[in-house]
Amino acid sequence: MDETYERIESGGVNGNGNGAGPAGDTAPAAREHLGRLPAIIESLLLAAGAPVPLGQLVDALDGPGRAEVLAVLEALGAGYEREGRGLRLVHVAGGYQLRTPAEHGPWIRRLLRERPPRLSRPMLETLAIVAYRQPCTRMEVEAIRGVDVDAVLSNLLDRRLVRVVGRKDAPGRPLLYATTREFLEVFGLPDLDALPTLRELGNGAELLTAPDLAVSADGVKPVPRNGAGGDG
């Protein structure tokens, strides 16, 4: 990581040579310890234990601006990759987190003597429907899957992969479900925009986002919007 520290100390991050961000936004204490900024950010990320949003890092550092902190994060991440270190800096769940490389998993599991929690196929299918249709009701999920999902949803709630976000304005006021920040962490996604596109998912994917569904003996089909799919 020596190259990263040298880059910070020489002003290579922001190009002005003194480590300051936009004019007037760097406190004296921050300037004094600017050369230690990468190490301080590492400590913050390790202490947090969960993804830390960029704005929260900037607030904690109380000096360097967003652009400067982001540049340090990028330099740290590149350094871990280049040097083959045992940590990786990932952008996940709307924040930044230090993680171990996936290829080191077997040794970590041997040390901790535990297996990573696995999601069953029904859980993955239900989670996919919620992720793309959110917020959605249990009945909408069941219409697509064709089976009762009450127990599966309960399990996903216990694992904090989905959450209740309100009630639908419909008869019975059914609960609405959506994914959580933990969902993004588990699947390594920075945000929901990083989900695979429907084209990437292939046939049948339109059911995941259709605004309305029709259930019949032939199965579940999306209801065409006005002017679409008619016979002219």
Q: What is the pLDDT of residues 101-125, one digit of tens each?
A: 888 877 877 787 766 667 888 898 8
Residue 64 clears pLDDT 80, i.e. is over it: yes
- 229 lies in some domain: no
Count of domains for the chain: 2
Examine the domain organization and report whether 58 and 141 are in the same domain. Answer: no
Could you read off the pLDDT of 26-46 as tens digits, one per residue? 445 545 556 788 888 888 988
- pLDDT, position 10: 45
Examine the domain organization and report whether 98 and 22 are in the same domain. Answer: yes
Examine the domain organization and report whether 104 and 6 are in the same domain. Answer: yes
Type of residue numbered 159: R
Contact by Cβ (8 Å): 108, 100: yes
Examine the domain organization and report whether 126 and 74 are in the same domain. Answer: no
Cβ neighbours around 153 below 10 Å, total? 21
Examine the domain organization and report whether 74 and 24 are in the same domain. Answer: yes
State what percent of residues in the chain have pLDDT above 70: 69
Closest CA to 95 of 47, 50, 41, 63: 50
Kindly indicate the confidence band of residue 180, based on its pLDDT and cuts at 50, 70 and 90.
very high
- pLDDT, position 11: 44
Report pTM: 0.55
State mean pLDDT over 183-212. 73
Kindly indicate the confidence band of residue 49, based on its pLDDT and cuts at 50, 70 and 90.
confident
Examine the domain organization and report whether 105 and 6 are in the same domain. Answer: yes
The residue written with tokens 């419909």 in the block is 170
Contact by Cβ (8 Å): 132, 192: no
Domain that holds residue 171: 121-222
Examine the domain organization and report whether 55 and 125 are in the same domain. Answer: no
